[in-house]
Amino acid sequence: MDISLPEAFLPLYESDSRYRIAVGGRGSGKSMTVAMLCILEAIQGKKILCCREFQNSIQESVHALIADLIDVMGATGFTVTRDKISHSSGGEFIFKGLSRNAESIKSLFGTDVCWIEEAQTISEESLRLLTPTIREAGSYFFITANPRSEADPLTERFLKGRMGILRQDGIFRDDTHTIIRANFSENPYFPSELEVERKKDKATLSAAEYEHIWEGQTLDEVDTSIIIPDWFNAALVAAEHVKLRPSGARVVAHDVSDMGKDDKAVVVRHGPQVLALGLKADGTASDGLDWAVQYIDDFSADSFVYDADGIGLGLAREVERQLGPRNINIHQFHGGERPNMPDAQYDGHRTNKDAFFNRRAQAYWLLRDRFYKTYQLVNGEYIDPDECIFLDPEDKLISALRAEVCRIPRKPNAHGKIQLMTKSEMSKPPLSLPSPNLSDALAYAFAISDDLTYGTHWSKPINYTEAYI
């Protein structure tokens, strides 16, 4: 047989995990690759259930795809009928829709492999019934999807708390899961016809729609988001419009979390330029601080700011112990406290205390101002670059940052103040948004005064007499 797999999918071929999952956008080769792997299993005598949530007819299944690939691969021993495909070894393909046959799925004993296609549409009820049904020794699931929403049962069950790792490394593994993220750029067999369609979509669709269709980003529309995708995208190309020479202090910002689904986050900036983004999924809050301190050392940072509410409250003594000897500015960020410089004018007719509900709202609104000014700069207006924000489009976590920054919702306030939804409110339906860890760290990084401390990076003052002799 003639079979060639894109390199990004090799972990699925080599895996012995219970759940083998491929997520990503159009043209990645997810369906074709998994279909080929299922054909190999059928040749070994395996019984394969190919299912999706909605299947009104066999034409809506992967039946035609598998039949075509059997021919292309030159696989022998197969018998293809209108609604079934079998192999002389005893292997067979069965095609089912779940939404109308959920209860009947429980009778499919003897299934060795279950492939859930278009899994972003699967219901919580179907997942609940299906997963315990596939229980033959050595049985497993293939799951292919372009995640539609952070609230999808698929995302909630398999991807929550893992998307940061997938965006950064392209793969997540544990004892029962092998999950890969692949897009058209990882498919060496991406057809030219789809490339024409992709370029057309890039030129005509909104950035959010394009990134969902082609780059596998979730498409969660938040009507009250304070930063829109076009402003964020301007920050990715701003360096092409102005020759930036960052100056001033280097700042490391750290969003704290303990063990659980929330990631720890780090953002490093120098003036208006973001130098690095980091996510850490494992470990305690203390482990996260050790990790953040490494960024301080690697970037010779002058200032460190961290979330000192919640879990961060218990880190104050440890922060002082670790950073005290480094002669570095240390800032605690308390999002729930009153705005910084409460009596100063914000917009010419309101003070900060009249404009903002709390410190968090103020920090995010100032970040919003930076993104909007960057958008103005990119579109030809004169804006001081130091008032903008410059992002690295090549950073592995830039998509993760965009997904968070562009979904920070404003909350109605009876007194007309600018107020944001809390993390807890964002996590609940109907939004069901993940914790904005990178986004929060970015807001902290730009919220503080980052004046240089005299003597930073020198163990003693410069001896000018010696220097000029």
Tens of pLDDT, residue by residue, the chain (469 residues): 667 889 999 999 999 999 999 999 999 999 999 999 999 999 999 999 999 888 878 877 899 999 999 999 999 999 999 889 999 999 999 998 887 665 667 667 789 999 999 999 888 888 888 888 888 899 999 999 998 776 678 988 898 778 778 888 899 999 999 999 999 999 999 999 999 999 999 998 877 778 889 988 877 557 788 998 889 989 999 999 998 988 888 999 999 986 556 789 999 999 999 999 999 988 999 999 999 999 999 999 999 999 998 887 888 889 988 988 888 899 999 999 999 999 998 877 899 999 999 999 999 999 999 999 999 999 999 999 999 999 999 898 887 888 889 889 999 999 999 999 998 888 776 677 778 999 999 999 999 876 655 444 433 333 433 333 3
Buried b (16+ CB within 10 A) or exposed e, 146-168: bbbbbebbbbebbbeebbbbbbb
* Cα 249 from Cα 415, distance rounded (Å): 37
Question: Does the N-terminal peptide bond of residue 430 adopt cis geometry, omega within 30 degrees of 0?
Answer: yes
CA angle in degrees (0–180, nearest 5) for 381-386-390? 80
Residue type, 97: G
CB contact set of 23 (below 8 Å; sequence gap of 6+): 30, 144, 145, 146, 147, 159, 166, 179, 180, 181, 182, 216
Q: What is the pTM of this model?
A: 0.63
Sign of CA dihedral 175, 181, 186, 187: positive
- Looking at the chain, the domain(s) classified CATH 3.30.420.240 span 222-447
Nearest one of 243, 245, 301, 289 to 264, comparing CA atoms: 289
Residues paired with 253 in a beta bridge: 267, 305
What are the two backbone dihedrals, phi and then psi, of residue 417, each rounded to the nearest 5 degrees? -80, 160
Measure Cα distances from 21 to 207, 262, 265, 284 in Å. 26, 21, 25, 28
Element (H, E) at 104: helix 102-105
Please state which architecture CATH assigns to domain 222-447: 2-Layer Sandwich (3.30)
| Topology (CATH level 3) of domain 7-186 | Rossmann fold (3.40.50)
* Cα 65 from Cα 57, distance rounded (Å): 14
* Cα 181 from Cα 434, distance rounded (Å): 18
Q: What is the edge-to-edge ordering of all strands in the sheet holding 273-280? A: 273-280, 264-270, 250-255, 303-307, 329-333
- Looking at the chain, the domain(s) classified CATH 3.40.50.300 span 7-186
Other CB atoms within 10 Å distance of the CB of residue 132? 8
* Cα 151 from Cα 116, distance rounded (Å): 18
* Contact by Cβ (8 Å): 15, 46: no
CB contact set of 417 (below 8 Å; sequence gap of 6+): 354, 355, 356, 357, 361
Numbers of helices and strands, H then E, in the chain: 18, 16
Measure Cα distances from 260 to 3, 197, 247, 281, 309 in Å. 40, 40, 37, 8, 17
